[in-house]
Structure 1
């Protein structure tokens, strides 16, 4: 167990500040993804249960569906763009780490100190590769989950609209009779 912790500490040291930023954004990203997923999961069932109430006028139905959309669905909708941006931040953070690592490599190659030049080159390349890998490891699964989440949210919107139109059609038939 101690060797695993030592290895993790070595990776964190090699990645530098950029790796810490990627990890912090990654924790925030996955927290938001899971919270949004959990909030979106029961929405289809809530919509299928329908709008309850004694008044089934068109105005009442429109109000109830609007309240549902603003109360339950808007919370999910507001998080979708933020999650997309955080996925991009992780990917670009990996690229930033690559660039900073390569800059460190070239800077170390140019310096004329007595230290082993291969060690200097290796440390810069290591930083570049560690941050690139971390950015991709955080962003790729999140992008897949994000696509599934967007699909689920689109299905919720479609079901909400479909049920609203069906309920309005029933209400219209009752009013014309």
Structure 2
């Protein structure tokens, strides 16, 4: 998965610039609708993400852009993105959570994300606090358009929003082997 965020314009400049994300040359695996195999006994505490309509209930971990400039969570991980003005899920602002559809040919944490529809619920739990979000947008988005998407990377200081992102096969592959598009779910807290 490669997401290339562009910093949204703000009234005050950032104290230090974020690295410019780039793409990697390895080919993506074909998408699978198989649910990920996660041992429930090894999942404990912290932030959790649940989308009951697709059978998703997984922990979230934080991560940033790697040294190659990619947002690329580890296999089996729903990773909320630090930096670029994004927030921890559940906080006021926009939280971006990335995950893979496949890893090593098997369904990964966001294997069924493309089945999420407008009106579905996304639930974030942190300790004893649970926040429910309603999906307002769920669609295939070209990666080139995603980098400028205001719902994802724009400034938001007034509402709790969560954005779930994974790769999508619908628009095919680029010449470097990466998918042309992502599946993007945008949900606002109720």
Q: What TM-score bracket applies, with the shorter chain setting the length? A: under 0.3
User: Which is strand-richer, 1 or 2?
Assistant: 2
The structure, 1 or 2, with the larger RCO (C-alpha pairs under 8 Å, 6+ apart) is: 1
**TM-score, normalization: structure 1?**
0.21
User: Which is helix-richer, 1 or 2?
Assistant: 1
The structure with the larger Rg is 1
